[in-house]
Amino acid sequence: MTDAVAIGYTLGSTAPKILAKGKGEIALAILERARELNIPTRSEPALLAFLLELDLYEVVPPELYAAVAQVLAWAYEQDGRAADLRLEGS
């Protein structure tokens, strides 16, 4: 089964937050929307498992800041836009 979480960060915010999350059909819809918007996706199964435990629109907790920052930095390198990112895994 496919899982996906969309995280977003707005400049000046305290931390990134969960914008969308789901499994199966919902995950596939999140990933399809990311492709439509040319938002890079990355497979990070361990991080994904932690992020799936968070509620929608919940701020990422401090213990995940370093891992999420690495993914956002990667996204920025991919297309210069670290505001939105969809993580995928199975």
Instruction: Give 2-32 pLDDT, tens digit per residue.
Output: 999 999 888 888 999 999 999 999 999 999 9
The average confidence (pLDDT) of the chain is 88
40 or 3, greater pLDDT? 3
Average pLDDT score over residue span 37-64: 94
CA distance 84 to 78: 12
Domain ranges of the chain: 3-89
The verdict on domain 3-89 having CATH code 3.40.50.1380 is no
Least Cα distance to 87 among 54, 63, 12 occurs for 54
